[in-house]
Copies of this chain bind each other. A is one copy, B any other.
């Protein structure tokens, strides 16, 4: 396996030296536009498809990108990863989040155990626990059923599980799978936990403490806040709390918890939605069967990501096009625009997933790279965004590549006809219209009403946002980010950039500061 910087690859130099650019306006706006929409599409899992007809590529550029995939050995590197190589070079760890949802390669053994068996065992334990909560075998001090699950975690222990919960909440209500409401406490700002506690019944709540190390300061602080509140209400915290942590953490065998479920060092926080980190809260909220379906969707998409040919591997293709936009076309941001209110926090999850994984300036050997890496990721659901920041996307001075997501049917199954169409039809019509408006623009003598076009987008389309579709979506982006990390020759699985702030914050709290840091601390009255 060769781990080389992007700018040393022949295929990349070919791509960079090619003065030819695809003219999206012509490619999509012309008579062959419909054919292009049909051709530039690849199937994903769970009935989804990835359509890149509105991306600024053509057959020549795609050929170059395929050559890049081959020279960068993307499929082989993924195989190394899922077969248990130490891909996280910084922390010297395996990278096994795909293993939480299926066996892609041979058995992976670490710490003396078969890791697939370990993850499956945690899922089984969680399923058993959730079933007991649902059927009343595990109840509160008064013998009442629990009605609310409250996740206490931050970063990867919060954003992914929260986004997944919101994505499936209405689907579960509609399909008779809604078991318990879930709430989330993350910020060390005490107003966050106070606000959640003020709007739930703590006596009927199970709190899920999530911290891999068992030492995350925000999470321990919020746990303590919750414990005090429970005690003040005359409740026994150990009857209301479970832990999701690593087996070696101080939380693992504590009698403070009803139960503990395990993840390990091979699951990065931002990749942990399919591990016990997402498993506990989603199984409690929607039942273990729904969580299992979510994992199946992710596993099916993972299998597609093993395909060597980028034109048949949507995550790899998406990654390659993204690198083309970032490194050849020079665009520094990507907007994620789901036309689904259920995906309202999915962009925030992708923001962490992508920016924390690939927002780096050194390669996997710790050497500085001399090309742009991970872009800024932001987004809000459509059609909301259309009435907000789309102005800049259409007519601003910079080009922002766009990632649309859309579904033919909504989740709740309720709708209304106004002016001859349903809400769902309006929603879908808007995303189709936006793709074309961005790609082809509009001439107008009044320059204020002129749209330059050539603003590229792709869209992932599905029938409905089901657990399987959500799993496939999640896996698609996880694998896209992984492939981009391979192309940029980064270690996408550590996060050294978050350490310095922690160290300085401790100094501030210990009053071991001087100069400007002391002045800022004084300003904030610490």
Task: Kindly specify which of A104-112, A298-306, A374-382 makes contact with the partner chain.
Answer: A374-382
Interface residues of A in 457-503 (CB under 8 A from B): 459, 461, 491, 494-503
**Interface residue A434 (Cβ < 8 Å from any Cβ of B):** yes
Q: How many residues of A are in contact with the other chain, CB < 8 A? A: 160
Give the residues in chain B near A37, CB-CB below 8 Å: 516, 519-520, 523
Give A360-394 as 1s and 0s: 1 = Cβ < 8 Å from B's Cβ atoms.
Answer: 11100011110111101110111110111111111
State whether A432 touches B517 (Cβ < 8 A).
yes
Task: Select which of B224, B494, B515 is within 8 A of A448 by beta carbon.
Answer: B494
Give chain B residues whose Cβ lies under 8 Å from the Cβ of A90: 448
Contact A518 B355 (CB under 8 A): no
The A440-469 residues at the B interface (CB cut-off 8 A) are 440-442, 446-452, 459, 461
Tell me the residues in window 25-45 of chain A with beta carbons closer than 8 Å to chain B beta carbons.
28-31, 33-34, 36-38
- By a CB distance below 8 angstroms, the chain B residues around A429 are 505-506, 508-509, 521, 524, 526
Question: Which of A65-73, A74-82, A138-146, A182-190 lies at the binding interface?
Answer: A182-190
Prevailing SS type, chain A contact patch: helix
A103 lies within 8 A of chain B by Cβ: no
Residues of B within 8 A of A421 (CB): 509
Distance in angstroms from A153 CB to nearest chain B CB is: 9
The answer to whether B187 touches A418, judged by C-beta atoms less than 8 angstroms apart, is no
Nearest CB to that of A227 among chain B residues? B416
Please tell me which one of the listed residues B361, B390, B433 contacts residue A497 in the complex, with CB atoms under 8 A apart: B390
A191 within 8 A of B: yes
A102 at the interface (CB under 8 A from B): no
Which chain B residues border A248 with CB–CB below 8 Å? none
Q: Is A425 an interface residue (CB 8 A)?
A: yes
A228 CB–B CB distance under 8 Å: yes
Question: Is residue A100 within 8 Å, beta carbon to beta carbon, of the partner chain?
Answer: no
